[in-house]
Amino acid sequence: MTFDWKYMLSLLSNIDFWLAAVVVVKLSVLTWLISIALGFLLALAKQSSRPGLQLPASGYIWFFRSLPLLVLLIFVYNLPQIFPATSVVLGDPFYAGLIALVICETAYIAEIHRGGLISINKGQAEAARALGLSFTGTQWRVVIPQALRVALPTLANEFISIVKLSSLVSVISLTEILMVGQRLYSQNFLVLETMAAVAFYYVLIVTVFDCLLKQLERYLDVSKRKTVAAPNVESLDLDIMPTSPRSVETTPWQGPALQASKLHKAYNDIEVLGSVDLQINPGEVVSIIGPSGSGKTTLIRLLNGLEKLDNGEIKINGQPFIHLQRQGAQKPVFVEHAKHRLDIGMVFQSFNLFPHLSVMGNLLLAPRYHALAPLPELKQQAYQLLRKVGLLEHAFKYPHQLSGGQQQRVAIARAMMMRPKIMLFDEPTSALDPEKVGEVLQVIEALASEGITMIIVTHEMNFALKVSDRIVFMEKGRVVCDDTPQALRSGQHPRVEAFLKDVALT
């Protein structure tokens, strides 16, 4: 028997095959999209530190990755025998197949998402938290776009698998491509010709969607985007820099801008910070110095709530910001008054810019999220800050297109967009090449001269002595010295003098 090419080619215009192909596309796309959404929630639950979320999520993934799809399809389709009320939905083979596929694929896609989530540096979530974004806002605006970009090639591959798995739905009598083929070759016994046509329809669907997904992948890859031209400076009104606070207090606070009392932090029962008191007055610049491992970074992270303190309290303008709420013999509950988070700006040593957003996107993300002002006003403020830090011509570049010094200056501008009352700097120059340190320090020095309240953790001793009103020296988790730069230079504190002896002071 010879292969009947004429018959096979005639099947390529068969209306039943094309209608079945539409069914496969609808089933596959719906399964993929629903599973992506549910799989992300499942991945978050599995990543959770709460056993009530983590254990059920892990159990779901384990069970439905172990269960054959064919068994699940037959079970779901016949479920109305046990629960007759479900026949309204499950009596339709399309919806029965869709539900079974979603149940199965959600388990697989959850693990794909988890791989994407693990790949995102935790500094991204910390930067979003420092900007006052909620957990949901952080996931939606920062984590999900980056995780999807990482996971997209694997998700695209999973879509192709779903298209091919849709053929199994024929066992519950859904009229899809394979079932149409089976019906035809049972009538004319031309099995090879009919299966060749079936293969054509599956290959066509996979090829079309593979091209579309590759286009999406290229679109999400910011490294391949062309740089947008810098804004025309002459068309921008940059003469007036807004200095008004986000909200006006009815009674101005006359006391400390920040007050930390008896802060304590330990990791695995090893004390890192012990009973630290710190008071910062409005407009004061305080540098925190000390040997590595002295607790400087831990202190500044506690001040911003990025680490949970084990004891003590923190006040902003006399109002409680972070404290422990004790109830009898129960473990103290960590309490943070989130409304004060926007009063504190944070600049990280590793920049923590959002790589999927342009420079302008980084500056506008948090103010738009908090609806601090209309978008045109926010853009104006962003342009002004970029000019202030010398990066106006780079407004539409992406972080990977900037040098380390430029990225850190963008990070400073991003924090300043929130108009914070206090700025925290955690080793802002430690990740920079020596030649880039100066440009960042100049920006910080300019901010200090404007009377902005600042706390700076730094190893740049000459800078600290020059710009600071006070210098706090820490060692072994304790404040050893808290005095003026003049006092430190005069040798009044022997331990600090010993620490500075190898520094070429200017």
Res 244: pLDDT:
42
Let me know if residue 236 belongs to a domain. Answer: no
Q: Do 271 and 363 reside in the same domain of the chain?
A: yes
Least confident of 49-53, 57-61, 171-175, 458-462: 171-175
Does residue 16 lie within any of the structural domains?
A: yes
Closest residue by Cα to residue 411 from 355, 468, 339: 355
Domain span at residue 457 reads 258-499
pLDDT band at 53 (very low <50, low <70, confident <90, very high): very high
CATH of the domain at 37: 1.10.3720.10
- Pair 359, 465 in one domain: yes
Q: Which amino acid is at 244?
A: S
253 is a domain residue: no
Q: Is residue 430 part of a domain?
A: yes
381 and 439 in one domain?
yes
Residue 332 belongs to domain with CATH number? 3.40.50.300
Q: Which of 158, 193, 220 is the last residue of a domain?
A: 220
Contacts of 302 (CB under 8 A, 6+ apart): 260, 263, 265, 273, 309, 314, 322
Is residue 506 in a domain? no
Q: What is the pLDDT of residue 237?
A: 61
The stretch 400-426 carries a mean pLDDT of 93
Please indicate, yes or no, if residue 333 is contained in any of the structural domains. Answer: yes
State how far the alpha carbon of 101 is from the alpha carbons of 107, 178, 213, 409, 449, in Å. 10, 17, 21, 49, 62
Mean pLDDT is lowest, of 225-234, 323-332, 497-506, for 225-234
The model's pLDDT over 146-199, given as tens digits with 9 standing for 90+, comes to: 999 999 999 999 999 999 999 889 888 888 888 888 888 888 888 888 899 989
Share of the chain above pLDDT 90, in %: 54
Instruction: Please tell me the predicted confidence (pLDDT) of residue 239.
Output: 57
What rounded mean pLDDT belongs to the chain? Answer: 88
In this structure, what token pair is assigned to residue 437?
């340190």
Q: How confident is the model at residue 225 (pLDDT cuts 50, 70, 90)?
A: confident
CA distance 306 to 313: 14
| 146, 284: one domain | no
pLDDT in tens, 94-124: 999 999 999 999 999 999 999 999 999 999 9
Residues 6+ apart with CB under 8 A from 388: 241, 413, 443, 446
For 447-491, give the DSSP string: HHHTT-EEEEE-S-HHHHHHH-SEEEEEETTEEEEEE-HHHHHTT
pTM metric for this prediction:
0.85
The C-alpha atoms of residue 260 and residue 138 are separated, in whole angstroms, by: 27
Q: Is residue 48 part of a domain?
A: yes
Query: Do 274 and 128 share a domain, yes or no?
Result: no
Is residue 240 predicted with pLDDT exceeding 80?
Answer: no
Instruction: List C-alpha distances in Å: 253 to 6, 316, 317, 421.
Output: 89, 10, 6, 12
Average pLDDT in the 22-41 region?
A: 95
Q: Are residues 205 and 275 in the same domain?
A: no
3-state secondary structure of 285: strand
Q: List the single range of 118-127, 210-219, 278-287, 483-492 with lowest mean pLDDT.
A: 483-492
Q: Is 21 helix (H, G, I), strand (E, B) or coil?
A: helix
Band of pLDDT at residue 503, cut at 50, 70 and 90: confident
Question: Of 200, 220, 240, which residue constitutes the final position of a domain?
Answer: 220
Burial class of residue 432, CB neighbours in 10 A (0-12, 13-18, 19+): buried
pLDDT for 248? 43
If you ran DSSP here, which 8-state letter would residue 228 be given? P
pLDDT digits (tens, 9 = 90+) for 67-103: 999 999 999 999 999 899 999 999 899 999 999 999 9
User: Computed from CA positions of residues 430, 432, 437, 442, in that sequence, does the dihedral angle turn out positive or negative?
Assistant: negative
**Is residue 264 classed as helix, strand or coil in its secondary structure?**
strand
Assess whether 62 and 158 both reside in one domain: yes
pLDDT class for 222, splitting at 50, 70, 90? confident
Asked which of 389-403, 439-453, 491-505 is least confident by mean pLDDT, the reply is 491-505
How many separate domains does the chain show?
2
pLDDT digits (tens, 9 = 90+) for 254-300: 788 999 999 999 988 888 888 899 999 999 999 999 888 889 999 99
Please identify, among 220, 244, 276, the residue that sits at the C-terminal boundary of a domain: 220
Q: Are residues 193 and 279 in the same domain?
A: no
The arithmetic mean of pLDDT across residues 30-46, rounded, is 95
Q: Which H or E element spans position 316?
A: strand 311-316
The predicted pLDDT at position 246 comes to 52
Which residue has tokens 């970009």?
Answer: 149
- Regarding whether 163 and 52 lie in a shared domain, the answer is yes
**Together in a domain, 210 and 264:** no
Q: Domain check: are 270 and 122 in the same one?
A: no
Q: In this structure, are 336 and 396 located in the same domain? A: yes
Given a cut of 60, is residue 249 above it in pLDDT? no
Q: How far apart are CA 470 and CA 483, in angstroms?
A: 5
Q: Decide: helix, strand or coil at residue 91.
A: coil
| Structural domain contains residue 446 | yes
* Confidence tier at 250 by pLDDT (50, 70, 90): very low
CA dihedral 394, 400, 404, 408 (to 10 degrees): 60
Predicted local confidence at residue 243, as pLDDT: 41
